[in-house]
Amino acid sequence: MAKVLSICFFIFIITSIISCEQRTHQSTKISPTYKASIKIAVSSTPLSSPVFIAKQLGYFEANGVNVELVKYDSGVKCFNALNDKQVDLATASETVVMFNSFKQSNFSVLTSFVESDNDLKLLSLTPQKYHRLNNLQHARIGIVKDSASEFFFDSLLIMYNKTAQPITRVYLRSDELIPALLNNEVDIISAWEPLSYLLTQQVTSDTSVINSRGLYHLSFNLIELKETTLSTTERLAILKSISDATDYIHTNPELAQQNISRILNIDPSQLRYSWNDYTFRLSLSNALFSNIQTQSQWAIDNQLVDEENSVDFRQIFDRKLFETFMSLEAGW
């Protein structure tokens, strides 16, 4: 009953906002339900599960918006599609947000909808040799350049006081990391999921160099251009739909995994491998701000970006919209 009342209240508030917008902007006569579809660029990863679930279970339609999902194989490509105005919204990691903030300030982060504290890992066929980053002298490290893979590895070097170690960085695409490791072209790879899972399918022994849980927090975020054509009502409805999807995931984790397995065409065992590492919730926290700030300083220190182009990251967080949404959710 409480859930029903909450939904009814949200719909009442949204209806009131629509009415207000229509009185203020007489040219806007059409309800969101009948407008052209809103396109969201979505990275084809389980991290995007709330967006996929919201579409599959009809939460977008229930909240009055017509949404079309456009799949891409990375957050970088999702952001590029948004920047090229091929879509209205995009999903991407905080690292993508950080790097692009040095190029432009015409976008906003509306919310983060998932976090993982165990998505990135250091992997090796001889992990005992490099336990706690021992014996790194002259080791060959497979890394995806200018990415979370490289940031994660550099953070570990600092944490374990190994920055002076003479190592060889071998820059590879993400799909080249496992073959390079198996072919003895590198000794260690800094990789994100599902690469750790895929490696376990080929190597039966443990491959983890260190217990990396909690050392790096990856997030996936919903992003839009500041010059958006979407109304406040539509954006609130989209946040509500994704929030409803996270509720479903928490209540029905097995069914949610089955749905995502079918949507992404991946083995259910792959989902089970990392599912408990994901925290699905809508947030726009200081922790996210601090994470982006830390990555920004790393990028500056390593001359990956121009410090003169740095911005105040608070300018790219749409806190006003998010706070309005949270107020509606709380029933204020």
Among 3.40.50.620, 3.30.1360.10, 3.40.190.10, 3.40.50.1820, name the CATH number for the domain at 120-200.
3.40.190.10
The SS3 call for residue 201 is: coil
pLDDT at 187 > cutoff 70:
yes
User: Structure tokens of 220?
Assistant: 């996936």
pLDDT-derived band at 286, boundaries 50, 70, 90: confident
pLDDT-derived band at 317, boundaries 50, 70, 90: very high
pLDDT-derived band at 12, boundaries 50, 70, 90: low
Residue pLDDT, tens place only, 125-183: 999 999 989 999 999 999 998 888 999 999 999 999 999 889 999 999 989 999 999 99
| Exposure letters 273-306 (e unless 16+ CB within 10 A, then b) | bbbeebebbbbbeeebbebbbebbebbbeeebbe
Mean per-residue pLDDT of the chain: 88
- Whether residue 144 contacts residue 174, with contact meaning beta carbons closer than 8 Å, is answered with yes
pLDDT at 37 > cutoff 60:
yes
pLDDT at 23 > cutoff 50:
no
For the chain, the domains span: 2-117+217-330, 120-200
What's the CA angle centered on 287, arms 314 and 113, to 5 degrees? 90
pLDDT-derived band at 21, boundaries 50, 70, 90: very low
pLDDT at 238 > cutoff 80:
yes
> What is residue 132's predicted lDDT score, i.e. its pLDDT?
87
Which range has the worst mean pLDDT, 30-39, 235-244, 266-275? Answer: 30-39
Q: What is the fold, at CATH topology level, of the domain defined by 2-117+217-330?
A: D-Maltodextrin-Binding Protein; domain 2 (3.40.190)
What's the CA angle centered on 280, arms 274 and 283, to 5 degrees? 140
pLDDT at 122 > cutoff 50:
yes
pLDDT at 22 > cutoff 70:
no
Mean pLDDT of 75-88: 95
Which range has the worst mean pLDDT, 4-13, 190-199, 258-267? Answer: 4-13
Q: How large a percentage of the chain has pLDDT more than 90?
A: 73
pTM score, two decimals?
0.83
> What is residue 57's predicted lDDT score, i.e. its pLDDT?
97
Residues paired with 107 in a beta bridge? 225
pLDDT at 109 > cutoff 60:
yes
The SS3 call for residue 118 is: coil
The domains spanning 2-117+217-330 and 120-200 adopt the same CATH topology:
yes
